[in-house]
Amino acid sequence: MWTYEKRLQYPVNIKTTNPKLAMVIISQFGGPDGELAASQRYLSQRYAMPYRNVAGLLTDIGTEELAHMEIVCAIVHQLTRNLTAEQIEGTPFANYYVDHTLGLWPQAAGGTPFSATVFQSKGDPITDLTEDMAAEQKARTTYDNILRLVHDSDVCDPIRFLREREIVHFQRFGEGLRTVQEHLDSKNYYAFNPAFDK
């Protein structure tokens, strides 16, 4: 099970609202390389992971992604908090506001709703961990793209933290993949699914 702690993993304290920026950052909530997709990817994949320590790694990183989702949501919330209709009018946030007012809803920057089709749970440890490493790099690229558009240090700061975590997770998944490969032998080297072909 999970327990909730009433704190953010990294603090978010934004002084100035910015609906335009919120529309960009929301992608890391419900977009293709966002934190919701990341958490569901790892937490779904772990059941078919035959090596207990790697399944544990998927649990721990998947859990951290839930905390990152909360950080991204806190950023979007604080960037749009108490906005008036006049402040929203004419910004890219107007279309979102029509459907969700100032509520949080998982979608990509372009408006596409969150979808499980952006990730896989293939039931093959090598396939899944290779996807996970790519996913961390895709999220890192997205944070880099976001950082080029952000000029408010209150927003940059937590985004930089999230970007750094993608790099650490990439490293840990690489080590997880190495662990899986160490279980392979000359009869099954990169060839078969070690969770199914025994």
Partner 1 sequence: MAANRMELIERINKVSFVMDDTRLFLDTHPCNKEALALFKEMARAREALVGEYTECFGPLSSYDTFDGSEWKWAETPQPWEGWC
Binding partner 1 (rule: CB under 8 A), the pick from 33, 64, 124, 131 is 64
Stretch that binds partner 1, among 19-27, 42-50, 91-99, 167-175 (CB under 8 A): 167-175
**Integer Cα distance of 27 and 109 in angstroms:** 5
Nearest to 162 by CA among 131, 189, 136: 136
If the CB atoms of residues 31 and 62 are measured against partner 1, the closer one turns out to be: 62
Neighbours of 122 (CB within 10 A): 14
- Show the site string, 23-62: x = touches partner 1 by CB under 8 A, - = not: ------------------------------x--xx--xx-
What is d(CA 173, CA 35) in angstroms, rounded to the nearest whole number?
16
- What is the footprint of partner 1 within residues 2-21 (CB under 8 A)? 3-15
**What track of x and - describes contact with partner 1 for positions 71 through 110 (by CB under 8 A)?**
--xx--xx--------------------------------
Q: How far apart are CA 148 and CA 99, in angstroms?
A: 28
Half-sphere exposure of 143 (CA within 13 A, CB side): 24
Q: How far is the CB of 67 from partner 1 (least distance, A)?
A: 8
Tell me the C-alpha distance between 160 and 175, whole Å: 23
* Interacting residues with partner 1 (CB under 8 A): 3-15, 53, 56-57, 60-61, 64, 70, 73-74, 77-78, 168-169, 172, 175-176, 179
